[in-house]
Amino acid sequence: MIRVLTITLFFTLCLYDQSSSSDIVQNAFNSNVSLEETRLSAKHGNPEAQFVLGTIYDNGQGVPQDYKKAAKWYRLSAEQGYSKAQYNLGWMYSNGKGVPQNYKKAITWYRLSAEQGLSNAQYNLGTMYDNGKGVPQDYKEAFNWYRLSAEQGDAEAQFFLGTMYKNGQGVPQDYKETAKWYRLSAEQGYSKAQYNLGWLYYHGKGVPQDDFAAIKWCRLSAEQGLSNAQYNLGSMYFNGNGLPLDYKEAFKWYRLSAEQGLSNAQNDLGMMYYHGKGVPQDYKEAFKWYRLSAEQGHSIAQYNLGMLYYQGQGVLKDYKEAIKWYRLSAEQGLSKAQYNLGMLYYHGKGVPQDYKEAFKWYRLSAEQGLANSQNNFGLMYYNGQAAPQDYKEAIKWFSLSAEQGYSDAQYNLGLMYYSGHGVQQDYKEAIKWYRLSAEQGLSNAQNKLGMMYYHGKGVPQDDKEATKWFRLSAKQGSSNAKYNLGLMYYSGPMQPWDDVLLRQRSTKRLKEGN
């Protein structure tokens, strides 16, 4: 019987595979050797019988399970130098089974067993040094013991030895050695090694880059149920990366991973339900999976959950809950959540209106480069909200946003150049930014661009261009553009001889909007 204690995701301590001792027990019973005869032999000091009797009590084979008695017989055998008993006694101390938990004593017995060459003891001694349990953390010692076990063919030791080469712990980083040991482990069917070997092929680390090999090893691991591999395989199908784009297959693998509790998979499964990819659109299911992921602290899922509460999709609209989840996400540094939190404070939705809080969250998001936040942060400087009015700061943030192609910021930057606020007045620059915004379809920018052509500011006067941009803005419902377009039709095409007179008459009536 093999017993495993999980310490971390990729760190396990295992009780010695007692198949050999089980064979001894089985053979003893087949030979009509009774438990009492085994006990008698153990009492006479036979270390192997003592070990077997320990396993009988440890596993509850024909007797009530009793860890204290198991530990007693393991100790008697171990004190005679029986390596398997030393190993199991170390495990009992490591896990507090039948004896008080004591990592230092566990180390003592593991070491005695490991020095006799028992691979499981060497592996567990390596994990103790790797994680600083019972001894100061020492990667070099961990490496040495993992290597001794790995060279005997222990798949987990091979995996951890590969990981130490990958991370440069206790040994110089060496991806070729990483690949070598991962492969040896993977070929024995160890799922974590298969997954990590796939990662090496995907990134071309220590092996030639090979999508086919990456997919092969990832799939082998996924089919064994490793949640990270299932998630990555789902992502490959979702993005068409190395595999044909297939939302149904992506959904299948995401679900398998999500059902094991992987937060990334839960979030992405929620996303597939939200958008109806690979499955009928279902906001309630999206809400369910976003919540499961969000409760594990996944910042994107927290943001997505906040969005569902804000919009009332799959759940009743609730601004306070939206605020709660946006805040959790924002505090982890997600810029979109910081922006949305700033918006809610600015408009007083779910919280009292608070420009200082809005200013704080816009700044955090803007400093990460989110164009929306940079624009809104600039507006707060422009309007003097939560900070003294500062046109130069407004220009700075409008520019950062505009250069990313954000149409509102391009329009606002055009206004600043037009008015000369925070910058020298420059109609040509105003035209440049109005045009970039207008070409993205912002109706205010289209109306302003029409005005510039109508007045000939920064461009030659051109009624046709003015009419074109007024019309585009008017089609989007701009009342100012509709008025200006109507005025153009009312006035008719300009003639050179009446240009001055008509301009004097009509300029006062044109509406720029805001």
Q: Which of 171, 221, 224 is nearest to 201 (CA)?
A: 221
Task: Check residue 487 and give its pLDDT.
Answer: 86
- In whole angstroms, what is the distance from residue 273 CA to residue 294 CA? 16
> Residues 219-261: pLDDT tens digits?
999 999 999 999 999 999 999 988 999 999 999 999 999 999 9
Query: Do strands 11-15 and 3-8 pair parallel, antiparallel, or not at all (unpaired)?
Result: antiparallel
Higher per-residue pLDDT: 486 or 438:
438
> Residues 32-78: pLDDT tens digits?
467 888 899 999 999 999 999 999 999 999 999 999 999 999 999 99
Instruction: Decide if pLDDT at 396 tops 80.
Output: yes
**pLDDT-derived band at 492, boundaries 50, 70, 90:** low
Instruction: Decide if pLDDT at 374 tops 70.
Output: yes
> Residues 448-484: pLDDT tens digits?
999 999 999 999 999 999 999 999 999 999 999 999 9
With beta carbons less than 8 A apart as the criterion, state whether 199 and 189 touch: no
Task: Check residue 2 and give its pLDDT.
Answer: 27
- In whole angstroms, what is the distance from residue 142 CA to residue 134 CA? 13
- In whole angstroms, what is the distance from residue 230 CA to residue 211 CA? 16
Q: Which of 511, 513, 463, 456 is nearest to 488 (CA)?
A: 463
Task: Check residue 1 and give its pLDDT.
Answer: 26
Question: Quick one: tokens of 37?
Answer: 């005869």
**Number of Cβ atoms within 10 Å of the Cβ of 139:** 18
Task: Check residue 35 and give its pLDDT.
Answer: 85
96-100 LR contacts (CB < 8 Å, sep 24+): 97/67, 97/70, 97/71, 98/66, 98/67, 98/68, 98/69, 98/70, 98/71, 98/72, 99/68, 99/71
**Number of Cβ atoms within 10 Å of the Cβ of 330:** 25
DSSP codes of every residue in 120-182: HHHHHHHHHHHHTSSS---HHHHHHHHHHHHTTT-HHHHHHHHHHHHHTSSS---HHHHHHHH
For 262-291, what is the mean pLDDT?
98
Helix, coil or strand: residue 388: coil
Instruction: Decide if pLDDT at 17 tops 70.
Output: no
Instruction: Decide if pLDDT at 360 tops 50.
Output: yes
- In whole angstroms, what is the distance from residue 228 CA to residue 234 CA? 10
With beta carbons less than 8 A apart as the criterion, state whether 5 and 93 touch: no
- In whole angstroms, what is the distance from residue 63 CA to residue 36 CA? 11
**pLDDT-derived band at 489, boundaries 50, 70, 90:** confident
Instruction: Decide if pLDDT at 24 tops 80.
Output: no
- In whole angstroms, what is the distance from residue 409 CA to residue 397 CA? 9
SS3 sequence of 444-461: HHHHHHHHHHHHCCCCCC
- In whole angstroms, what is the distance from residue 134 CA to residue 66 CA? 26
DSSP class of 11:
E
Mean pLDDT, the chain, rounded, equals 90
Task: Check residue 513 and give its pLDDT.
Answer: 54
- In whole angstroms, what is the distance from residue 229 CA to residue 350 CA? 40
Task: Check residue 401 and give its pLDDT.
Answer: 98
Domain boundaries, the chain: 441-514
Would you put residue 54 in left (φ > 0), alpha (ψ -120 to 50) or beta?
alpha
Task: Check residue 323 and give its pLDDT.
Answer: 96
Q: Which of 179, 248, 192, 198 is nearest to 225 (CA)?
A: 192
Question: Quick one: tokens of 378?
Answer: 């600039």
Question: Quick one: tokens of 153?
Answer: 């063919």
Task: Check residue 512 and give its pLDDT.
Answer: 52
For residue 58, give every residue at least 6 positions away whose Cβ sits within 8 Å of its Cβ, in sequence order, or none.
65, 67, 70, 74, 88
Specify burial of residue 368 (Cβ count, 10 A radius: 0-12, 13-18, 19+): middle
Instruction: Decide if pLDDT at 14 tops 70.
Output: no
> Residues 278-298: pLDDT tens digits?
999 999 999 999 999 999 999
Question: Quick one: tokens of 77?
Answer: 């055998």
H or E stretch covering 49: helix 47-59
**Within 13 Å of residue 235, how many CA atoms lie on the same side as its CB?**
14
Q: What angle do CA 333, 339, 342 make, to 5 degrees?
A: 110
With beta carbons less than 8 A apart as the criterion, state whether 278 and 247 touch: yes
Helix, coil or strand: residue 30: helix
